[in-house]
Structure 1
Amino acid sequence: MAIAQNCHQWLTLLVCAALLVLQTKANFYPLIFPEKAKAMGAVCLDGSPPAYHFVEGTVENKDNWLIYMEGGAWCESIEECKLRTLEHKGSSKHMMMNPFFPGDYDFGFYGILNRDPAYNPSEFVNWNLVVIRYCDGSSFTGDVEEPVDNLYFRGKRIFNVITDELLNKGLKNAKQVFLTGGSAGAVSVALHCDRFRKLLPNTRRFKCLMDGGYFIHVKKDNPKQVEGFELTFKNVVSLHNSTGMLPQTCTQKMKDKPYLCMFPQYLMDGMKTPMFILMSSYDKHQINISMHESFVAANRTIREHVQLATPIYEGLKGFRLQLLDALPNKPSVGIFINNCFFHTEIATGYWANPNSQVNNVLDSKAISDWYFYGKEVNLIDKSEFIKDCYTNGYYSS
């Protein structure tokens, strides 16, 4: 109140209002730009430097690191990549740097990234926290030497320069590391998990987690479903020259179609590092790309509380079964699949939310049991109904 009482002029009021907003924002952390980015040619799509956030952990957790790779889909054409340079997914110029004017591009430190135990009950709450911002449009795989139409496809260099700087900041002495990411950031985790692990040969416990990124390669029922992600990944790998950053354990098998190695399901056999898959069988983004009409119908069902048409519902159930069939069967892989009609979980308000639990187990508890205690986790919502995790209700036809 004291701040507001001292604000008299309209400009001052604007600044003061922003200060009040900031006071309620428990998690704001400045951007850090890697010192060697320019020298290494590691830049965002528009040529601006890449960035990350770093929050130091408590003294007793100085050797424990939680790393989160930001998502944000991909750009698969010159036109799409140019559009991304107008906002934070293609330029650090548009990432939130001014704490007085948080806007649409401010990064929210929610869920597992929140430092408040009231919102993040996990053991990771006091670890060193790193958020690697995403501005290359290729899940950190692009490797084109010269700019094209003033666009820089340098995802590989961004990955290298940020990981190198983190190693020098103390990551090289880490005892425990958890590499996580959401959506396209989850695909980044799948692609770079083993590569990251090799940088830390002395780390006692290194594991990875994909949140909302287990996009499947649909092979049947509807050619349009197949076309969705397959065409996207094919275009991304071609435009960004990404093949060299795809795991060789996969590309050696997919010689004719290396872009299929962007699908996490094809990476799992060759992956050595333990991985946790957190996914909804009715993931909104996956359904929107592969079954857009069904996405629109399901969205309306939950928004307006109306029934789904039977053909739409049957198609969604079939898609769910394809996802379940594509899951790996490895003891080192943790699996948590709910039916919530949403996209990503750990860095949102759904984290540790009772409405999104499976078999009465919270995601935070399942992940903790798997990461710290080596328990096998294979939790799948056996119901075939779509779940509205806002109201904790299920929907069918």
Structure 2
Amino acid sequence: MGSGRARMRTQALFRSALLVILLLAETSEARKVRGGRTQPRRAHSPPSSRDRTDAESFPLDFTAVEGNMDNFMTQVKNLAQSLYPCSAQKLDQDMKLHFLENSSVTCNDGTPAGYYIKESRGSRRWLVFLEGGWYCFSKQNCDTRYDTMRRLMSSTRWPPTRTGTGILSPQPEENPHWWNANMVFIPYCSSDVWSGASLKTEQNDYAFMGSLIIQEVIKTLLPKGLENAKVLLLAGSSAGGTGVLLNVDRVAELLKSKGHGSVQVRGLADSGWFLDNKQYSCSDCVDTISCAPTEAIKRGIRYWGSVVPERCRLAHTGEEWNCFFGYKVYATLRRPVFVVQWLFDEAQLTVDNIHLTGQPVQEGQWRYIQNLGSELRNTLKAVPAMFAPACLSHEVITRNYWTEVQVKGTSLPRALQCWDRSLHSSLRDHGNSTRGLPRLPPRSCPLHLIDSCPWPHCNPTCPTVRDQLTGKEMSAIQFLTHMGFDVQRMAQQQGMDPSKLLGMLNSGS
């Protein structure tokens, strides 16, 4: 019975693939007569041996077994591209730039804000991504930012297209769960952690309109198909990850006010779960890098005219800066959010004045780094859906290696798929005895994933670390030694032989 269905499914795929080939062949022929002038027919002569030799050949293997299907579809794709060269053009896979028609919503310097989009006809899933890139919080450091990082404050130099990578990739090999969604990339040009709602005026040298840019893009996408969406995933990295936490509920409320409350709005916050902890060494609040996180946000929130989630604002009246820190705003959110966070985030360490410049760290710095991992782990305990590897890095979901990092044997795309399944089950069960409680996925499909090992890069699937002086890749033990890790003393503290500890480190145990 099962094998019969498999044969029928295989035959159906063959027929569909052959139909695609025939249609593309006809389209390729039709392209030759476009432009209003049909070329006269010419007698076809048999191809010469040279023609036959030079012609690209794509023989198809029709072995009718399920295991051969991926190989067969790859061959069909190659044949289709040979018949219809435009389908092979990389440009068709790229996201294309569109500026907002509402000219009052702008980047910092008053140039029009915009977005990149690659539509996926027939898909009811939308992924809207918020770019990251720090911030500025005074005229002085915004002027410096404008001189050195203008693309993050102005749209004048944006390219006409962008190639999607990681979770924005249209390739199933790189993006197994979201590859066929409608992809939208919103460039970061407001320098306000996607929170501002203030215009550029004679008194204000810069506009800060991050929150308004998101709202305007969502409105613009409605007639493009978002109004019929089933799921909208608002994702972002770094400042964009914090922007997700600040805007996911506001996006859902906007859609509801427009009559599209059935769209399931969710968040994916990557590397935006910052801590308001004390710096390793105190410094004057001169620029973004040296300023303590709390002080920078306190100054910024006034300068930007920031908007924070309503429930968080009510919970922290007069101290709305608290809403920029993940573990404080998360508890007030209504929409589900998946949190992705390195336990040893490089941006967090930078603002905490731990600068890994190629020199081995001091003992105090090493203890501070370990404590950071513990503090971060504690703030994530109440988060049901998250992925937190014990790595020293920053941002991941748009990296081409994002499928390779694992926590307890589960990759990030797999964890997101499990999360998606649990949310789907909750909606399906809505109205029965489990109403309001997300159904837990099977044990084989985990979505609360956090490393328990205490050191940076004790997870063997962490991104490669390179020596800043030589550029050479470093093993886990080389990296830890470079960081000042004392194998002898740590083995003594753990009550084990140093060689055994070394073996555990090298194997990632």
Q: TM-score, normalised by structure 2?
A: 0.63
Asked if 2 retains the 8 angstrom alpha-carbon contact of 1:219 and 1:226, the reply is: no
Distance 2:449 2:387 in 1: 5
In the alignment, which residue of structure 1 is the partner of 2:319?
257
Matched, 1:30 2:81: no
> Given residue 96 of structure 2, which amino acid in structure 1 is its aligned partner?
P
In the alignment, which residue of structure 2 is the partner of 1:377?
447
In the alignment, which residue of structure 2 is the partner of 1:150?
205
Aligned with 1:164 (options 215, 219, 241): 219
Distance 2:175 2:372 in 1: 32
| Higher Rg | 2
Q: Which segment drifts farther, 190-199 or 256-265? A: 256-265
Gaps of 5+ in 2: 1-87, 284-288, 424-440, 465-473, 486-509
- Displacement of 1:287 after TM fit? 0.8
Aligned length: 347
- Displacement of 1:372 after TM fit? 2.8
In the alignment, which residue of structure 1 is the partner of 2:245?
190
- Displacement of 1:93 after TM fit? 0.5
* CA separation of 1:23 and 1:165: change in aligned 2, threshold 3 A: closer
Asked if 2 retains the 8 angstrom alpha-carbon contact of 1:217 and 1:226, the reply is: no
> Residues 193-204 of structure 1: matches in 2 within 5 Å?
193-201=248-256, 202-203=261-262
Relative contact order: is structure 1 or structure 2 higher (C-alpha 8 Å, sep ≥ 6)? 1
Aligned with 1:216 (options 275, 278, 288): 275
* CA separation of 1:258 and 1:350: change in aligned 2, threshold 3 A: same
> Given residue 336 of structure 2, which amino acid in structure 1 is its aligned partner?
P
* CA separation of 1:33 and 1:385: change in aligned 2, threshold 3 A: same
Identity %: 25
- Displacement of 1:338 after TM fit? 0.5
Q: Deviations over 1:79-116 (max 9, x none)?
A: 2323444521000102123x6xxxxxxx5521111111
- Displacement of 1:385 after TM fit? 1.6
Gaps of 5+ in 1: 1-21, 100-106, 302-306
Matched, 1:362 2:411: yes
* CA separation of 1:341 and 1:26: change in aligned 2, threshold 3 A: farther
- Displacement of 1:168 after TM fit? 2.6
Distance 1:179 1:309 in 2: 40
In the alignment, which residue of structure 1 is the partner of 2:372?
319
Distance 1:329 1:263 in 2: 15
Aligned with 1:136 (options 190, 193, 214): 190
> Given residue 329 of structure 1, which amino acid in structure 2 is its aligned partner?
A
Distance 1:81 1:282 in 2: 28
Q: Deviations over 1:209-242 (max 9, x none)?
A: 1001101111597666996211121121011111
Root-mean-square deviation (Å): 2.6
Asked if 2 retains the 8 angstrom alpha-carbon contact of 1:64 and 1:127, the reply is: yes
Q: TM-score, normalised by structure 1?
A: 0.80
* CA separation of 1:318 and 1:69: change in aligned 2, threshold 3 A: same
> Residues 1-397 of structure 1: matches in 2 within 5 Å?
27-35=93-101, 37-38=102-103, 41-59=104-122, 61=123, 63-86=124-147, 87-97=150-160, 107-121=162-176, 123-147=177-201, 148=203, 150-201=205-256, 202-203=261-262, 205-218=264-277, 228-242=292-306, 245-293=307-355, 295-296=356-357, 300=358, 308-327=361-380, 329-330=382-383, 333-353=384-404, 356-374=405-423, 375=441, 377-387=447-457, 389-390=463-464, 393=476, 395-396=479-480, 397=485
